[in-house]
Amino acid sequence: MPLANGATPAMCTFDSLADRRDGHFALRFAAQDGTQAPLVRIHSSCVTGDMLGSERCDCGPQLRESIDLFTRRGGVLIYLNQEGRGIGLTQKIDAYAMQDGGLDTFAANRALGFRDDERDYLVAAQIIDVLLPGLAIRLLTNNPEKAVALEYYGIQVEACIPTGVFATAANRRYLQAKLAAGHVLPASSLMPKSKANA
């Protein structure tokens, strides 16, 4: 599939993944250097961030960063139909309304009756098994839970490679909540500008 940046990754779809849900896909970018474990990003769908450019989260810049990195270095982008950490778009927008009322991103999930994160990565492990059979991978993520889940499903994660930190005034609270929940993010980059520069 030709992309605007000149890359031509192969678009892979799957018809018998464990959850039987449509909408998961992978983009496979040719690797320039076969000596290192392949780079993989598991990206959960975010209509607001990926498609509309919402600054409430960091999904859009992370997606574009992975496409640019894989264009240069090769890799597999696994795009999972897991809107709103698995709660769906309608509930995510409800969660946004609760955040506007003061709750953080995880407390809003709980207030709606969900766990902090409803995602499961079995389908990602299945896709990796098909596209990179038997290979250890390097996972582009700040969320250690993704590596733990893949290892549980039998995928060897050699390393987690951090994404950039795409902090804006609009997503700072969101990123701070992720830091408090165990995502690996540099705390200094999440302070308001005046404090960070003090």
Ligand X SMILES: Nc1nc2c(ncn2[C@@H]2O[C@H](COP(=O)(O)OP(=O)(O)OP(=O)(O)O)[C@@H](O)[C@H]2O)c(=O)[nH]1
Residues marked active site are found at 117, 119
Chain positions contacting ligand X, by CB under 6 A:
44-46, 57, 59, 62, 82-85, 87, 92, 95-96, 105, 109, 141-143, 146, 163, 178
Query: In the complex with Zn ion, which residue's Cβ is closer, 59 or 190?
Result: 59
Residue 69 partner contact from ligand X, Zn ion, none using kind-dependent CB cut-offs of 5 to 8 Å: none
Say which residues have a Cβ less than 8 Å from residue 60's Cβ, sequence separation at least 6.
46, 49, 50, 53, 54
Footprint (CB under 5 A) of Zn ion, residues 72-131: none
Q: Using CB under 5 A, which of 26, 39, 40, 57 touches Zn ion?
A: 57
Please list, residue by residue across 64-87, b when 16 or more beta carbons sit within 10 angstroms of its beta carbon and e when fewer do: ebbbebbbeebbbbbbbebbbbbb
The helix (run of H) or strand (run of E) holding residue 77 is strand 75-80
Residue 178 partner contact from ligand X, Zn ion, none using kind-dependent CB cut-offs of 5 to 8 Å: ligand X
Q: Using CB under 5 A, which of 26, 29, 40, 49 touches Zn ion?
A: 49
Nearest partner of 87 among 127, 141, 124, 47, judged by Cα:
47
59 counts as binding Zn ion under rule CB under 5 A? yes
Query: In the complex with ligand X, which residue's Cβ is closer, 59 or 125?
Result: 59
The DSSP-derived string for 43-69 is EE--IIIIIT--SSSSHHHHHHHHHHH
Query: In the complex with Zn ion, which residue's Cβ is closer, 49 or 75?
Result: 49
Q: What is the DSSP letter of 84?
A: G
CB of 38 within 8 A of CB of 137? yes
Q: How many residues bind Zn ion (CB under 5 A)?
A: 4
Rounded to a whole number of angstroms, the minimum distance from the CB of residue 95 to Zn ion is 12
Give the residues lining the site for Zn ion (CB under 5 A). 46, 49, 57, 59
